[in-house]
Amino acid sequence: MGKTDKGLTLRFITLAIGMFAIGTDSFVVAGILPSVAKDLDVDVPTSAELITAYALSYAILSPVVAAVAARVPRRLLLIIGLVVFIVGNIGTGLAPGFEAALGFRVVAALGGAMFTPTAAGVVVALAGPERRGTALSILFGGLSAATALGSPIGTAISGFTDWRGTMVFVAAVGLLAAVAISVALPSVPSPPAVTLKQRLSPVTDPRIALALLLVLVAYSGLFILYTYVSQIFAPATDGSGRALAWLLFAWGIAAVVGNMTAGRLTDKLGNRVVINTAGVIAVVVFATTPWTSPHLATAVVAVMLWGACGWAMLVPIQHRLAGVNPEVAQMSISLSSSANYVGVSLAPVIGRFFLDHGVDMRYLGMPSAAIVVAGLLIGEAGYLLIKRGMRRAQAGDGDAPADVRAVTAR
């Protein structure tokens, strides 16, 4: 690896530290829901609205912030985003009641909305097409590393202190990320100003729209179980917060491996193979949770397969979006982040719907698996549409999309 490659990799890792902070905040709340519910005097499904508030606010604010702050220097925007994120988490930890906590989750989401799409855009700009998959896997490796370390550490902290101590920990991680970026990341040129209408324009391309819908649907299914992970695997952990932290650690380690492996496999095999293989394995894991969740040994195997496959899907989907139309790749990836968070925000709502309509907590994995299957079918429809456009272009059809030859899907 040459000096240039090493320099780029260091920049990607620096941004991944920030993603680690954002990811820790996104995933740690699920592990502390019982503690939050008890302290704020609400039930667990209601406390799960903290996850929905954060994820939905992020999804809505992300494209808006990207358009409004288009002329702000990239490094400055990254640091400001982390400062807002820190304020939101400290406020959540000091909140006197549930409504105040919800409000500060929106503030934290604003910080995440400022940081994540900006970081993804910087990575795409710095990495050439031949390194795009690997570069994205490094960046989003920060998110998967948050599941491996940040979330279980935060869950364990709540066992020693309470959930408020966990939020202080998240804020401290955000501060560390802000310092690292201010020191290690050089100035990055701002992209040309793009209006909100232009930023949303990739959705009008059905190939991109189907990829975004794949993200939304698949990740709503993937995160239903994560929302209620403390309850679903309570028989295996005996309700112990420390045991749950170790289970989340196993989930996160597998997520890191799945994410990093997916980047290389996507560059080698193409995104379709990685998306479908990982998705089918996740479906099988979810459908069998009634039999794997009661025992610690089988629970560990299940959550590791789940973590690896869930995170292995993200990079190839980003890869597909970047390749469909390279001219709008940064905007497409930004929208995919919003779609991801819409899916995550819907997960607690969908999970509560099933629980309220007679589905036992033990069997919640079955409707979750069905939703992931629906996402895979949507993704397959998008792939077939891309292939049809490529065939038309190869046949000299003048009506084929002008950018179709740049498609990297295989």
C-alpha 151/C-alpha 146 separation (Å) is: 6
- Amino acid letter, 30: A
C-alpha 168/C-alpha 176 separation (Å) is: 13
DSSP 196-227: HHHHHGGGGSHHHHHHHHHHHHHHHHHHHHHH
C-alpha 363/C-alpha 366 separation (Å) is: 6
User: Tens-digit pLDDT profile for the chain (410 aa)?
Assistant: 455 566 667 777 778 888 888 888 887 888 888 889 989 999 888 888 898 899 889 888 888 887 788 788 888 999 999 999 999 999 999 999 999 999 999 999 999 989 987 887 777 777 666 666 677 777 777 776 776 778 788 888 887 888 999 999 999 988 988 888 888 777 776 666 667 777 778 888 899 999 999 999 999 999 898 888 888 998 998 877 778 888 888 888 888 888 888 888 888 888 899 999 999 999 999 999 999 999 999 999 999 999 899 889 988 998 888 888 777 776 787 788 788 888 888 888 899 899 988 899 889 999 999 999 999 999 999 999 988 877 776 666 555 554 444 444 44
Residue (of 112, 116, 108) closest to 166 by Cα position: 108
- State the number of CA atoms in the 13 A half-sphere of 91 facing the CB: 17
- The CATH label, of 1.20.1250.20, 1.10.3720.10, 3.50.50.60, 2.30.250.10, for the domain at 3-406 is 1.20.1250.20
